[in-house]
Amino acid sequence: MASTQFTLEKAGHQTQESEFFKPMPPGYAAGRHKYVVVFGTVMSGLGKGIFASSLAKQLKDKGLSVAPIKLEGYLNIDSGTLSPYRHGEVFVLDDGLETDMDLGTYERLLDQNLARENYATAGQIFRRVLDKERSGGYLGRDVQMIPHVTGEVKYLIRDLAVKQNADVVFIEVGGTVGDHENAFYIEALRELAFEEGPQNVCFAALTYIIEPPTLGEQKTKAAQLGLKKLLEAGVQPHLIATRSQQPLEKGSAEKIAMFSNVPPNRVFSMHDRASIYTVPSAMHEDGLDKAVIDILGLENKVDAKQEAANARDWRHFETMVTSTRAHTCRIAIAGKYAALRDAYASIDKALEHCGAHLSCNIQADWIDVTDIHPADASAALKDYHAVIVPGGFGHRGTETKIACVRHAREHKVPYLGICLGFQMAVIEYARHVCGTLDAASTEFLPHAANPVIDILPEQKKIEGLGGNMRLGGKDVLIKANSLAARLYGLPAEGGVIRERFRHRYEVDPRFIETLEAHGLVFSGRHPQQPIMQVLELPKAIHPYFVGGQFHPELLSRPLRPHPMFMGLVAAAVRQADKDVKDEAVLGWIR
């Protein structure tokens, strides 16, 4: 940490030279970086992540470099131990950090990979402060929420700006204004604006407009009270975005403006839309992005030519999203968190991207494998054109997942296995094709006689795993002339791709020769070690049977859908319509 303004006298007594505590990261230049801070009021779940990422996209499309950061109030160090029922799926960054699903929203809309400095929790911040206290980093000071914890927040934000050379840092404060757990974040950001000075920080407040059906009118009182809490914390918003079902009425906008000291032309309606992918363009049409540019004085950094080109590309994608689809297919997703769609949010988004690019109306049904007996799996899947078995942990529902794989393989239904779904495909193939009926995983059966899926001692040494997972981006060597090579657009001789992993168990190399001798193709491997990472069946055996030990859904982007999902959806369209002539579809499954 850079030097502090606190010093020690020779006698050991502390003197305080200044009330300002501004630890600065190396290389930080005041005024070089700008900040947009997004708060939520009234209630959680307003879509702060979609709002912030859409606004960040608008600025990035103008040629500015942007870096988002999500500030979480919980004391967990990361999201790795959180149940999907608490915060949705765990999104894994390329550097291996496990975060919440909002980071996925930023990566998809900005089309850029984020890193651990783009995510902070209260647990991380408190641990950093206490580690510094233990090492004498505060020169004998009594360590307090203000200035030390708030100082650490400011340091992390500025450090992100330097490390990612950001013109604009977008800061999303988790939770709702008024929550105890994010109060220190709000104070830190108030201090940040004070220290950075005018035209360097823009405060945006997202609020909720209630529309009771029995009254038939918009009510703004809850929004007024929520914004009042922000004002009480010393934060004057520069602009306000209102969430509502219908467009914000003029009278409602005037009330919000009056009671928040925000000009009416900076109160924007973020009402419900047919697709979140129309939000960035709607922001531009309403002038929200221009307002931010004006507030931060960034007019001279806007690249009009780049902005126009990016806007054309995005409008083309919007057209694909909102147009009538030429095809229809039904896809079953057989998982055990089916009651909560957010548990598989990235799979949902990956299918959305493919549906737009292939003009397919995808009916994705979430099937809870814990509610289905393995013997009934085939009947449950009989009307579907494709099957996905997603990732997961624990023994619950695994035999039904294996039965789902068997149905897809034997009935030649397009199949995509993700992480655990990859492992289930290996076990199913070993049992019902290779004849190893007791094939299993030591994750579920520690003393299995034939553990085709296992944690191997040599792999622990190779990867340095110990008891932890393989996390983050890893290289995958793709086999020549394989389906995987064609999907990824690699040359005939194959090549290397990069995917994101989150798992502990692997295919035991002792069984690879037997599996391959019976027709299973391991078309993706670790570049140096016998670690299997992609499997497939030849087209002569099955129209589309693919599995990845990684999570391909984490890398699907609106303008660049993931090839494994594109192949699956194209195969599902062909399954639904054997006479399909659409070259956009056929190109993925030839």
CATH number at residue 442: 3.40.50.880
CB within 8 Å of 316: residues ≥ 6 apart: none
What tens digit of pLDDT does each residue of 396-419 get? 889 999 999 999 999 999 999 999
Does residue 180 sit in the same domain as residue 37?
yes
Q: Using the 3D structure, point to which of 283, 317, 351 is the last residue of a domain.
A: 317
What tens digit of pLDDT does each residue of 283-331 get? 999 999 999 999 999 999 999 999 999 999 999 999 999 999 999 999 9
* Residue 10: pLDDT over 50: no
Can you point out the beta strands (E) in 273-420? 327-335, 360-368, 386-389, 415-418
CB within 8 Å of 566: residues ≥ 6 apart: 354, 357, 358, 487, 588
Does residue 341 sit in the same domain as residue 251?
no
Q: Which of the residue ranges 13-27, 67-81, 337-351, 575-589 would you say has the lowest mean pLDDT?
A: 13-27
- Residue 237 falls inside a structural domain: yes
What CATH number does residue 199 fall under?
A: 3.40.50.300
Please report the pLDDT score of residue 569 as a whole number: 98
* Residue 85: pLDDT over 80: no
- Residue 13 falls inside a structural domain: no
Pairing mode of beta strands 119-121, 98-99: unpaired
What tens digit of pLDDT does each residue of 417-450 get? 999 999 999 999 999 999 999 999 999 999 999 9
Q: Which of the residue ranges 3-17, 152-166, 176-190 would you say has the lowest mean pLDDT?
A: 3-17
Please report the pLDDT score of residue 461 as a whole number: 57
Strand, helix or coil for residue 150: helix
Does residue 479 sit in the same domain as residue 410?
yes
- Residue 475 falls inside a structural domain: yes
* Residue 3: pLDDT over 50: no
Catalytic, 553? Answer: yes
Does residue 435 sit in the same domain as residue 362?
yes
pLDDT band at 88 (very low <50, low <70, confident <90, very high): confident
pLDDT band at 131 (very low <50, low <70, confident <90, very high): very high
What token pair was written down for 431? 């049992």
Answer for the pair 358, 585: CB distance below 8 angstroms, yes or no.
yes
pLDDT band at 22 (very low <50, low <70, confident <90, very high): confident
Block residue for tokens 């902070």: 120
Q: Which of 404, 419, 434, 506 is catalytic?
A: 419
- Residue 354: CA atoms inside 13 Å, Cβ hemisphere, count? 30
- Residue 1 falls inside a structural domain: no
Does residue 254 sit in the same domain as residue 336?
no
The range of the structural domain enclosing residue 153 comes to 25-317
Does residue 310 sit in the same domain as residue 333?
no
Q: Using the 3D structure, point to which of 287, 317, 347 is the last residue of a domain.
A: 317
The size of the chain, in residues, is 590
pTM of the model as a whole: 0.92
Residue 8's CB is within 10 A of a number of other CB atoms, namely 12
- Residue 16 falls inside a structural domain: no
For every residue of 201-232, DSSP letters joined together read EEEEEEEE-B--TTTTS-B-HHHHHHHHHHHH
How far is residue 200's CA from residue 165's CA, in Å, rounded to a whole number? 15
* Residue 6: pLDDT over 60: no
Q: Across-strand partners of 521?
A: 536
Please report the pLDDT score of residue 275 as a whole number: 92
Does residue 339 sit in the same domain as residue 290?
no
Q: Which of 242, 237, 238, 236 is nearest to 223 (CA)?
A: 242
Does residue 242 sit in the same domain as residue 337?
no
* Residue 9: pLDDT over 60: no
Please report the pLDDT score of residue 343 as a whole number: 80
Averaged pLDDT score across all residues of the chain? 92
Mean pLDDT computed over 358-374 = 95
Does residue 301 sit in the same domain as residue 331?
no
Catalytic, 404? Answer: no
As for how many domains the chain has, the answer is 2
- Residue 11 falls inside a structural domain: no
Q: Sign (positive/negative) of CA torsion 335, 45, 35, 137?
A: negative
Mean pLDDT computed over 535-563 = 97
The DSSP code for 469 is P
> How distant is the alpha carbon of residue 352 from its chain centre?
15
Does residue 235 sit in the same domain as residue 100?
yes
Please report the pLDDT score of residue 456 as a whole number: 67
Please report the pLDDT score of residue 7 as a whole number: 40
CB within 8 Å of 339: residues ≥ 6 apart: 85, 368
pLDDT band at 4 (very low <50, low <70, confident <90, very high): very low
Mean pLDDT computed over 539-555 = 97
- Residue 181 falls inside a structural domain: yes
How far is residue 343's CA from residue 361's CA, in Å, rounded to a whole number? 22
Let me know the angle formed at the C-alpha of 87 by 84 and 92, rounded to the nearest 5 degrees.
75
Does residue 276 sit in the same domain as residue 366?
no
Residue 24 burial by Cβ neighbours in a 10 Å radius (0-12, 13-18, 19+): middle
What token pair was written down for 282? 């709607």
- Residue 5 falls inside a structural domain: no
Q: Using the 3D structure, point to which of 263, 295, 317 is the last residue of a domain.
A: 317
Answer for the pair 61, 312: CB distance below 8 angstroms, yes or no.
no
Please report the pLDDT score of residue 15 as a whole number: 44
Mean pLDDT computed over 543-554 = 98
Answer for the pair 336, 396: CB distance below 8 angstroms, yes or no.
yes
Q: Which of 354, 407, 553, 562 is catalytic?
A: 553
Does residue 422 sit in the same domain as residue 340?
yes
How far is residue 564's CA from residue 118's CA, in Å, rounded to a whole number? 27
* Residue 233: pLDDT over 50: yes
- Determine if the peptide bond prior to 147 is cis (ω within 30°): yes
* Residue 546: pLDDT over 80: yes
Q: Which of 33, 357, 407, 551 is catalytic?
A: 551
Mean pLDDT computed over 346-365 = 97
